[in-house]
Structure 1
Amino acid sequence: MSSRRAGPSWLTRLFNPRTDDTPSEGQDGPGDNTDVELPRPLTTQRIADDLSRRGYKFRIDNDGDVTGTWDGNRFWFLLLGEHDEILQIRGRWAGNLSASSRLGVLQATNDWNRERIWPKVYARSEAYGLTLYSEVSVDFEHGATDDQLAQTVSCGLVTAAQFFASVAALTPPEISDDAR
């Protein structure tokens, strides 16, 4: 399933989410004696609602996790921990690299992890070659507001997209050494 559609790109919608409850000009906005939202427990439905507000396409997989593709890369929105209090946004790069790229890829992932907070990135050997993953994990033991959830989703998608694009620009995907 793809997140492509006519209109603004997914990245534009990420930074400018449209909601029906956004105050119009002349209406009360933040700081105008409005109710303060209290943190609420994370749920798959809350994640799905956030993605829907942004106009993203996604699905619920057989494990009950939210998943979708952004720029061809697969992402999962996982609830982890004893009480589903940890939100992890895990991305898998759409490309595969040959085993001969391993040293360069490991250097790129180490450089990224050393220089940036998010996402954590790593390489894995899989059936079709070496592939890359990203993870942003946030512990919401005491719940999250809709804004906190939206910010975490944005962080997970944007930072992973930046990493995947930087690697794609440096090392174009190759055919696995085993497939040659």
Structure 2
Amino acid sequence: MAADVSGENQPMPDDAKQLVRPNRDLVAELLDQMELTYGVDDEGDLVAPYEGFRIYFIFRGTQHELFAMRTYYDRVFPLESKPVLLGALDAWNRETLWPKAYTLTQEDGSVRMVTEYQLIVPNRVDLNFFVSNMTSWMEASIQFDGWIADQLGWDGDLDDPDD
């Protein structure tokens, strides 16, 4: 795996860690190596679509030092279902260390679920550390999707909070 996709990262000796400054090009290279389909949204963030959700790879901050992965799940719920969703997400957040999970209420009153991870990288980081974090976070997004489906039922029907 090449560490220098932007000209910003310098190769290290074989016995040293391979330090990189994560950026969009590096993430795109990693997604290519994983043979995953992805695109670029209107804000310039990478987005990888999966069945049932989309993972966004986001860099923010004055020097793009904040790397975040946000997963937006496709299931849409009515606003009245939000208390049931919050109960399930509270259970997830109590039982796991990450990703953090929360609801996002749209302007039309519909509710969606989101998971999020953040990593602040003010300087360089070991490439293997970054890759293992990114792939672990992606796997956790997939696990959350299965977990929440089990908690709420595969159809996502939350009209009756007693279900």
CA distance in 1, matches of 2:69, 2:77: 22
Of 102, 112, 119, the match for 1:138? 119
1:93-134, Cα deviation, whole Å (9 max, x unpaired): 111122232111101111111221110110122236211000
Which of 63-72 and 132-141 deviates more?
63-72
Whether the 8 Å CA contact 2:66–2:119 is kept in 1: the answer is: yes
The amino acid across from 2:147 in the alignment is: S
Instruction: State the shift of 1:71 in Å.
Output: 2.9
Per the alignment, residue 30 of structure 1 pairs with none
Identity %: 18
Whether the 8 Å CA contact 2:39–2:47 is kept in 1: the answer is: yes
TM-score of the aligned structures, taking structure 1 as reference length: 0.72
User: Which structure 2 residue ranges, 5 or more long, are not aligned?
Assistant: 3-12
Does the residue aligned with 1:69 lie in a helix, a strand or coil?
strand
Residue 173 (structure 1) aligned with residue 145 (structure 2) = no
Matches within 5 A, 1:80-159: 80-126=60-106, 127=108, 129-159=110-140
The amino acid across from 1:173 in the alignment is: G
CA distance in 2, matches of 1:53, 1:128: 39
> Any runs of at least 4 consecutive aligned residues in structure 1 with deviations exceeding 4 A, and if so which?
none
User: Which structure 1 residue ranges, 5 or more long, are not aligned?
Assistant: 1-18, 21-32
Instruction: State the shift of 1:145 in Å.
Output: 2.8
Per the alignment, residue 25 of structure 2 pairs with 45
TM-score of the aligned structures, taking structure 2 as reference length: 0.79
Per the alignment, residue 7 of structure 1 pairs with none
CA distance in 2, matches of 1:53, 1:42: 16
Instruction: State the shift of 1:175 in Å.
Output: 8.9
Say which structure is richer in strand. 2
1:9-39, Cα deviation, whole Å (9 max, x unpaired): xxxxxxxxxx69xxxxxxxxxxxx9342332
CA distance in 2, matches of 1:135, 1:125: 16
Residue 34 (structure 1) aligned with residue 17 (structure 2) = no
Whether the 8 Å CA contact 2:104–2:111 is kept in 1: the answer is: yes
- The two structures, once aligned, show a CA RMSD in angstroms of 2.3
